[in-house]
Structure 1
């Protein structure tokens, strides 16, 4: 397995609506669109004060008001007022754990995953906003290393481990994370030598709809995406166009807006290393992948479709945020701030989180063009 501030400021991210039109239109149209965007307000990342310096690679957006973040030193934060204040709701005694994924159903119910070898991989759940937590799973297999969680609905979900005895291991829950069982491995294809998942953003295992789920890999000769249409019982594997061939390279994050249309981002997470071909797109549910014509310019670990859009999405990484308006075929950088993961909700509650306690929400500020 490859594991991977406090100042409030606003940075431009020219997204959606009139702002997107301004970016894409011919000069005359762009001027008119820019004027319209000026009156409507331009979407921008606004950093929120979290009061901590831990790194938040786990993020669950519930709405524009409510979000959960999970990170290093066993830290879990929750806001219910749009990020104006954050409550530390970390599980007691979890200070030595590394939380890398959180899945939340509302402001009270959430499930978090701690990563690591052996018993360091654990799952906790809360039903009262983090006032109390129950450890619902602790890994006892020294060969397993859990990376990511995903839920199809408030009851049914999966967690994935790096290969054990040559195959990825899948945990399943049917009661909202209260209990877990290991699924049979008969329907899982063999892992490639050196292949694993990346616990970088909570997006190496994602779902769309009631039964479809995808698993991102790297580290092997080929960066693959595995797909299951029956909640993890049977899987097929497809090669992505994202380069691999090294333990630090592969697909780090996936996002599907429906069971057919998906995005993959990744690259080489090592500082200073180039990451060509760091973006890919599928239109057939992951059976085949097409390289982005213009990929993100550097390693990206998180990706999310913008609400109510069939073509617009954001990708984030330590060196910036990129925007696509053509379904992932071309990307352009729109912000240089460091983030590890991103998540959006139907009410336009887009959030991002990362190192040094950084959590931001997409905000509209009238008249800021």
Structure 2
């Protein structure tokens, strides 16, 4: 008997348009389906376009308040609260709030006071927040166990001092006393009243004993009071000085910690390993015992680290710096970074140089991606504590950052080191001294463009400050030397040296072979000679804020038509316009996505327009990312799994769209399936 082997190749479609036969035992070739015994070419459902977070740039975001206890971490920011119940591995974002000024724990309850004086509370570990806790605009909140103390004023301006029992479930007034500063111990209080008197209560505010005038009375509102065990400590500024009382405010000793301190915020952090005096200006001191001496404890942090928030308690002393948390380690007497991983960063701007992508985060930190935005690493940022970084550009293996009042810096080694470009134009005419601020940078075809900007006094008794500049600065040698292009830009006055001032520049875009320059008050301008001269290009643009012409957000060209996203006032047009004459005049496009919304970002990806869209006047107002494939004729939501928070910038790379979001890092959408 001869055994016949099965064919190793399944049948494909027959010649002459006929299909080969098939069955469960005789499958069709790849690319064909077996339907009713015949192989027919299969029809594939396109895979959906899906946005994915890139897990970067990492950081805890811009913080304004911090609480670290044994079980949870609370982060307060500019419009949000995040809570981690697993040591920082995962985070839960709360409903939006105003900027959080402080957290206070009272038993299982945690209170959050915001900048507008609203006091919120969570009693379930941060899953939900209730507000307002009391009908007051709260200026301070303190706790002793489950007893809570609140100082604030009502709608008539009348101040109140309240005591809350059982974690603030019931409240009563403490009469005849209005505290300016308050130290809360275990069952006792020391108060500096608004009239300057120092008082002590041994029964939680029922009765009071007046003490001798404290030595820090003249410090006024600059005092921070803190109970620590049986001691009371006061911290003042100019100079930074600590006062310690071992008898609950009756007598005091003092020590100057820093003669030259000019901090705007100070903290006293009680912990098991000492009391810490910390300022946002970079001063760190520790008092190991109440009767001891203060010692500097700066090791582990960069010199002059600008602390954003701080926390003390049974979990130790913690500070937030550049999107990271550091804990003081008593074993090494140094600060060490905590092992927290989070992507809560706000991405201000993105720049692309081939496969290398740069992200500016929180206005001070730079991250780099070497794989088109899939993964990120943080790089050194020059003077991140003192520089407000406003813009970034990249090209030819280099990256530039533009700052407020410190000019332009360049890195030639992937962000490992930075060079200050001292030849950048100076506000006072001295190279390297008080350079103009740079709100936007653009690198294109070997030329670096920088828009000059600063708050400049135009004279008069009130200073008469204006957003002013000297036009567009251009460099053809990577920033080594500069020329100014201001021809045709209107003058808004002269500085103290008699130099002509132009309106401040907030955006530079190159499209359709032309440069476009957006100003704060004079509108949009166009240049056809690489920025040497300018002509107005605002005709038809909607009105912006303060009755000025809307400023430019983004501008792209598609098939000879210019499309622009512009910042508008809430009661005007949508913020998307088009021009069919090279940018001289503008009009509304054929359509925009639905809703009374505004454009946050606009990009061109191949033959498609991609738009970030959100609602007016709401903190969490994201309406998503939209795409038009017919020149703004129609729009549809782009992809699934979009970021929940708004995208402030959209950038096309070789094979993807990157969306830089508010407090949610960079998201990525592969464009291979975008038809």
How big is the shift at 1:247?
Answer: 6.8
Aligned to 1:24: none
Residues 29-178 of structure 1 mapped to structure 2, 5 A cutoff: 38-39=45-46, 41-50=47-56, 51-52=58-59, 53=61, 54-63=345-354, 65-105=355-395, 108-114=397-403, 116=404, 119-120=405-406, 122-137=407-422, 140-141=426-427, 144-153=436-445, 155-162=446-453, 169-177=471-479
Aligned to 1:201: none
What is the DSSP-based 3-state SS (H/G/I as helix, E as strand, rest coil) of the residue aligned with 2:646?
A: coil
Which 5+ residue runs of structure 2 have no aligned equivalent?
Answer: 1-42, 62-344, 428-433, 459-467, 494-501, 615-621
Higher strand share: 2
Q: Specify whether residues 282 and 348 from structure 1 end up closer, same or farther in structure 2 by C-alpha distance, changes over 3 A only.
A: farther
How big is the shift at 1:306?
Answer: 0.8
Q: Counterparts of 2:637 and 2:48 in 1: how far apart (Å)?
A: 16
Check the 8 A contact 1:56/1:100 in 2, yes or no. Answer: no
Q: Counterparts of 2:548 and 2:366 in 1: how far apart (Å)?
A: 27
Check the 8 A contact 1:255/1:305 in 2, yes or no. Answer: no
How big is the shift at 1:207?
Answer: 1.2
Higher helix share: 1
What is the DSSP-based 3-state SS (H/G/I as helix, E as strand, rest coil) of the residue aligned with 1:246?
A: helix
Q: Specify whether residues 330 and 245 from structure 1 end up closer, same or farther in structure 2 by C-alpha distance, changes over 3 A only.
A: farther
Aligned to 1:15: none
Q: Specify whether residues 364 and 140 from structure 1 end up closer, same or farther in structure 2 by C-alpha distance, changes over 3 A only.
A: closer
Residues 275-314 of structure 1 mapped to structure 2, 5 A cutoff: 276-296=573-593, 297=595, 298-307=597-606, 309=607, 312-314=608-610
Check the 8 A contact 2:554/2:566 in 1, yes or no. Answer: no
Aligned to 1:243: 543
Check the 8 A contact 2:647/2:660 in 1, yes or no. Answer: yes
Check the 8 A contact 1:104/1:111 in 2, yes or no. Answer: yes
Residues 192-271 of structure 1 mapped to structure 2, 5 A cutoff: 197-198=505-506, 204-208=507-511, 212-217=514-519, 219=521, 224-239=523-538, 240-246=540-546, 250-257=550-557, 260-268=560-568
Q: Counterparts of 1:327 and 1:195 in 2: how far apart (Å)?
A: 33
Instruction: Please give the TM-score of this superposition, normalised by the length of structure 1.
Output: 0.71
How big is the shift at 1:59?
Answer: 0.4
1:348 aligned onto 2:655: yes
How big is the shift at 1:144?
Answer: 4.8
Q: Specify whether residues 125 and 185 from structure 1 end up closer, same or farther in structure 2 by C-alpha distance, changes over 3 A only.
A: same
Work out which of the two has the higher radius of gyration on C-alpha atoms and give 1 or 2: 2
What is the DSSP-based 3-state SS (H/G/I as helix, E as strand, rest coil) of the residue aligned with 1:161?
A: strand
Q: Counterparts of 1:315 and 1:196 in 2: how far apart (Å)?
A: 26
Check the 8 A contact 1:242/1:251 in 2, yes or no. Answer: no
Q: Deviations over 1:36-61 (max 9, x none)?
A: 5x33x333322111211242211013
Check the 8 A contact 1:156/1:176 in 2, yes or no. Answer: yes
How big is the shift at 1:260?
Answer: 4.8
How big is the shift at 1:75?
Answer: 0.7
Aligned to 2:36: none
Q: Deviations over 1:305-332 (max 9, x none)?
A: 112x1xx211225623232223245545
How big is the shift at 1:361?
Answer: 1.6
Q: Counterparts of 2:561 and 2:510 in 1: how far apart (Å)?
A: 12
Check the 8 A contact 1:251/1:266 in 2, yes or no. Answer: yes
Q: Specify whether residues 135 and 144 from structure 1 end up closer, same or farther in structure 2 by C-alpha distance, changes over 3 A only.
A: closer
How big is the shift at 1:348?
Answer: 2.8
How big is the shift at 1:162?
Answer: 4.2
Aligned to 1:25: none
How big is the shift at 1:219?
Answer: 4.7
Larger RCO: 1 or 2 (CA < 8 Å, sep 6+): 1
Check the 8 A contact 2:552/2:566 in 1, yes or no. Answer: yes
**Alignment: residue pair count:** 306
Residues 351-366 of structure 1 mapped to structure 2, 5 A cutoff: 351-363=658-670
Instruction: Please give the TM-score of this superposition, normalised by the length of structure 2.
Output: 0.41
Which 5+ residue runs of structure 1 have no aligned equivalent?
Answer: 1-34, 199-203
Q: Counterparts of 2:575 and 2:636 in 1: how far apart (Å)?
A: 12
What is the DSSP-based 3-state SS (H/G/I as helix, E as strand, rest coil) of the residue aligned with 1:81?
A: coil
Q: Counterparts of 1:191 and 1:253 in 2: how far apart (Å)?
A: 23
Stretches (4+) displaced over 6 A: 163-167
Aligned to 1:186: 487
Q: Counterparts of 2:358 and 2:488 in 1: how far apart (Å)?
A: 33
What is the DSSP-based 3-state SS (H/G/I as helix, E as strand, rest coil) of the residue aligned with 1:132?
A: coil
Q: Counterparts of 2:367 and 2:613 in 1: how far apart (Å)?
A: 21
